[in-house]
Structure formats: C-alpha cells, structure tokens
A = this chain, B = another copy of it.
Amino acid sequence: MPVNLLAPDPASLHPVPGVRWGVTMAGVRKANRRDLSVIALDAGASVAGVFTQNRFCAAPVQLCREHLASGTEVRALLINTGNANAGTGADGLARARATCEALAGLMGLQAKQVLPFSTGVIMESLPVDRITAGLPAALAALDANAWGLAAEGIMTTDTIPKAASRQVQIAGKTVTVTGISKGAGMIRPNMATMLGFMATDAVIAPALLQSLVTQAADQSFNRITIDGDTSTNDSFVLIATQQAGHAAIESLDSADGQILREAVFAVARELAQAIVRDGEGATKFIAVKVSGGRDEAECKLAAYAIAHSPLVKTAFFASDPNLGRILAAVGYAGIADLDQALIDLHLDDVHVVHQGGRRAEYREEDGQRVMKQSEITVHVNLNRGPASTTVWTCDLSHDYVTINADYRS
C-alpha cells in the first residue's frame, strides 16, 4: 500500500504542446501489460538528461549519453519495461542500437535522434523483435493527452502510476510542466532515478536546460532512497518544447527563470517523493533532516546513514521508538571528527536527545505517538555548522523481502 499516494487523475495532467505519448503492449516480458512507450517530439524541442552514476550502467544509458553528445536534435524517446538491458555487454549495446534504428526508420529520423530507456530485470537479453513489432502500434497511439497512460506504461514493481503537473504564468503566457516517474526498488539515485520524464513548453535557452535538469535532480531524485541500491538504468529527462510563446528565458535567476525553476522543482520533488511513497513494502514516509553540519556533504552522510540503516527502517516499520539506532547510524556515517556530545534529535515535535544523551524529560509515549504516524520527520542537529539537507525514505517491512524474493517469479 503506497503511503498517502493516489493514482493521478488523468484530467489533472496538463498536456505539453509539442509532446505526444504512444503506449502499447509489446509482451517484452509478460503478456497483456503496457510495456512499450514512445515519446514523439515536435521539431525545435530541447532535451537534457541526467543518468545513473553506476559504473555498470545499462546499454540504453550508454546510448542516451552518446546520442545527446552528438548534438543532433532529439525527436523521439523509446521506453520499455520488463528488461533493463544491463549487464549485457556488447550484445546489449547492439540490441539497444537496433531498437533505435527501427523506430528511426518508422519515423523518418536518424537513429541518434532517438533516446532509448529500459527498465526491468538485469542481465537478460533485450527481445529486439518483440519491441520492434510493437512500434507501429505505439506510433499509431500517439496522443498529447496520454501522460496518464504513459505513467502506467513505465511501471515495474510500482503499485501505482506516478505523475505530476503544474501550470505557471510566465510573461503573460501559461506554461505547463508535466512529468511522470517510476521506481519502487533499487532506489538510491545518484544523479537521477529510474525513470523520470518531464516536459515543459517553456521557452528557454537550450544551454540552460542541462543546468535546470541537474538542479532539479539534486532537489528531488537525488534526495530519495528506498534500499540504497543505485540502479544501472537511472535516467531523468527534461524536455522543453519551446512552444509557450513567451520571450526566451536566458537565465535561471531571472524572474521568469525562477518561476520556471520552482515549477520544475515542485513537479520533480512530487515525482521523487511518489517513488518513496510507493517504495517496495513501504508503510511509512520518512523525511530525514540533518542540520548544523559544516557542509552539505556531511549532512548527506548522516542523512543517508539513517535512511539506509536496516535497523532504523525496521524500527519505523514496527512503530518502535528504538531511537538509539538513529544515533548509532549518525555515529558510523563517516564524519570523522563528529562530537557526539553536541547532537540533538527530534522526532517531529518531540525532543528526544540533547547533547548526545536521552533527555530526562523525554517520555517513551511521546516517541511512540510519532512513530505510529504514516509520515514522520527525523531531525538530527549536528550543532557544528550552518549547512543542512533533507532526504526522503521509507521503512523496511516484510513486504520488501517478499517482493524482492519473488520479483522474477
């Protein structure tokens, strides 16, 4: 059961002029599920992306990087579930290339104008034939109003599709930002998550788009973790179709740039948090805030140590205020000269630890009350500097084990 997350109302997902989705069933791994999606872009769109830092990055990620680096205008994205095409060596690269060529052929494009994305089981051969056989149906289905279908079409172990949409006014024009994401396990993105697609019709200098997507990832997908396993296929793409009709944004710090940035961040954050809310087996949504660090890096070390600790995560699952486990995680986070005698710990509004020790006034009932909530903020103050950060995670339940022990069967 996802934590306070509902399937998006398709009517709430504003189409983005210049972007059409075609979603179909190709039987990549299982029959009768939407597993193949195509995004067709009007000419003139700009595309930027961030990709997994996993050294075992999947063949499609390698091709995305290659095609984006070529500087050729991207006109289509091709996404399959059911097979990650990772750990597949040179053969996997050739297979990914073959699917790009097939779609390019049908659309009258060059292969490098297609960006491929795959998600699913690692280390199995991509079924090129089934994918190419499904392409005509995907193209026939192209529709600007298919964001909801697309959110469903990229799911794997997700229990619920994830989408978000905003409209803002820029220089008197309505500008749309709409996105979808997927992911529920192998989630500890490091640059992006597997997978996020966002589009806007904003008019923005193409050179700014990479900066915007990187900043957005850093404020959203790079702040979440479910199991600490960085995927081989993480990809987060931002498309700007440039069709909204306002004067081009030439700086993200301009008034218009800030409006767009905030809208992009808001959608990205909602999509990223949706992944945590639908984390495999999740019963709780947990924000881990670490403040008082000397720099953000050490705040992140502590926040991720807490967010990855199986002991902390099982305590949340049990609603057990066994909060010493949080202190232990801070202690082994790798902050070499940390002084435990400075640490404060709050659980929502409950002040649990002061100067490294349990407060005399802390009552277990108060911790218990917060632990029973479905949304909880853990706040650790290192009290040694001005920096802070927040990451979002979920608990570790029996269902996580069940899902991952059964994933392939």
Contact A328 B405 (CB under 8 A): no
Check if B401 sits within 8 Å of A314, measured CB to CB. yes
Q: Which A335-376 residues have a C-beta within 8 angstroms of B?
A: 335-336, 338-341, 343, 353, 355-358
Residue of B nearest to A402 (CB): B398
Residue of B nearest to A353 (CB): B87
Interface of chain A: mostly helix, strand, loop or mixed? loop
Per-residue CB contact flags for chain A residues 224-256 toward chain B (1 = under 8 Å, else 0) read 000111111000000000000000000000000
In the complex the two chains form, is A405's CB within 8 Å of B57's CB?
A: no
* Size of interface on A: residues with Cβ below 8 Å to B: 72
- Say whether, besides A322-B408, A398-B398, A54 and B310 are in contact (CB < 8 Å): no
Q: Does B123 lie within 8 Å of A232, measured CB to CB?
A: no
The answer to whether A90 touches B357, judged by C-beta atoms less than 8 angstroms apart, is yes
Could you tell me the distance between the alpha carbons of A91 and B357 in the complex, rounded to whole angstroms?
A: 8
Q: With the chains together, A90 CA to B342 CA distance in Å?
A: 12
- Residues in B with CB closer than 8 Å to A333 are 55
Q: Which 5 A-B pairs have the closest CB atoms?
A: A89-B357, A122-B324, A56-B331, A123-B324, A318-B405
Known: A56-B331, A89-B357, A229-B328. 12 other contacts (CB 8 A): A55-B331, A88-B358, A89-B358, A90-B357, A122-B327, A227-B309, A227-B311, A228-B308, A229-B311, A396-B401, A398-B401, A401-B401
Instruction: Give the B-binding residues of A (Cβ under 8 A).
Output: 53-57, 84, 86-92, 121-125, 185-186, 188, 190, 227-232, 308-311, 314-315, 317-318, 320, 322-325, 327-333, 335-336, 338-341, 343, 353, 355-358, 396-398, 400-402, 404-409
